[in-house]
Amino acid sequence: TWNAAKALEAFGLSASEVNPGVFDGKEWKASGDVHEALNPSTGEVLAKVQFGTKDDYERCAANAVAAQKEWQLMPAPQRGEIVRQIGNALIEKRDAMGALLSLEMGKIHAEGKGEVQEFIDICFIACGLSRSIPGQVVPSERTEHALMEIWKPLGTLGIITAFNFPHAVWGWNAAVSLVCGNTQLVKGAESASLVTIATQKVVSDVLKANGVDGGVAVLCQGEGPVVGDAMCRDPRIDLLSFTGSTKTGKIAQRLVHERSGQTVMELGGNNAILVMPSADIELALRSCVFAAAGTCGQRCTSLRRLLVHEDVYDELKPRLVEAYKKLPYGNPLHPKTLVGPIHNKAGIELFERTVQDAQSQGGKVLVGGGRPDASELPSEDLANGNFVQPTIVEIDPHADIVQEERFVPVLYLCKVKSFEEGIAINNQVEQGLSAALFSTDMREVFAWLGPAGAKQGVVNANTSCSGAECGLAFGGNGSTGWGRECGSDSWKQYMRRSSCAINFGKTLPLAQGIDFS
H or E element at residue 486: strand 485-486
**Cα–Cα distance, 469 to 486 (Å, whole number):** 9
Hey, how many other C-beta atoms are within 10 angstroms of the C-beta on 312?
A: 17
Beta carbon nearer to ligand UN1, 244 or 277: 244
**Residue 115 Cβ vs ligand UN1, minimum distance, rounded to whole Å:** 8
**Cα–Cα distance, 167 to 98 (Å, whole number):** 9
Beta carbon nearer to ligand UN1, 120 or 206: 120
Hey, how many other C-beta atoms are within 10 angstroms of the C-beta on 187?
A: 27
**Residue 162 Cβ vs ligand UN1, minimum distance, rounded to whole Å:** 6
| Secondary structure (DSSP) of 10-46 | TTT--SSSEEE-EE-SS-B---S-EEEEE-TTT--EE
**Cα–Cα distance, 304 to 405 (Å, whole number):** 8
Of the candidate residues 165, 290, 324, 387, the single one contacting ligand UN1 (CB under 6 A): 165
Of the candidate residues 164, 241, 337, 456, the single one contacting ligand UN1 (CB under 6 A): 164
Beta carbon nearer to ligand UN1, 301 or 479: 301
**Residue 477 Cβ vs ligand UN1, minimum distance, rounded to whole Å:** 15
Fill in the per-residue mask, 330 to 369: x = in contact with ligand UN1 (CB under 6 A), - = not in contact. ----------------------------------------
Fill in the per-residue mask, 287 to 326: x = in contact with ligand UN1 (CB under 6 A), - = not in contact. ------------xxx-------------------------
**Cα–Cα distance, 338 to 109 (Å, whole number):** 9
**Residue 243 Cβ vs ligand UN1, minimum distance, rounded to whole Å:** 6
Report the site for ligand UN1 in 452-481 (rule: CB under 6 A): 466-468
Beta carbon nearer to ligand UN1, 164 or 193: 164
Catalytic residue among 115, 266, 394, 485: 266
| Secondary structure (DSSP) of 264-286 | EEE----EEEEE-TTS-HHHHHH
**Residue 469 Cβ vs ligand UN1, minimum distance, rounded to whole Å:** 7
Q: Active site includes 266?
A: yes
Beta carbon nearer to ligand UN1, 32 or 467: 467
In 3D space, the residue among 35, 41, 171 whose CA is nearest the CA of residue 105 turns out to be 41
Q: What angle do CA 60, 61, 64 make, to 5 degrees?
A: 85
Residue 203 is given by DSSP the state: H
**Residue 268 Cβ vs ligand UN1, minimum distance, rounded to whole Å:** 10
Beta carbon nearer to ligand UN1, 176 or 416: 176
**Cα–Cα distance, 487 to 472 (Å, whole number):** 5
Helix (H, G, I), strand (E, B) or coil at 165: coil
The answer to the question of residue 271 lying near ligand UN1 (CB under 6 A) is no
Residues of the shown chain interacting with ligand UN1 in the complex, contacts defined by CB under 6 A: 164-165, 299-301, 466-468
Q: Could you list the active site residues?
A: 266
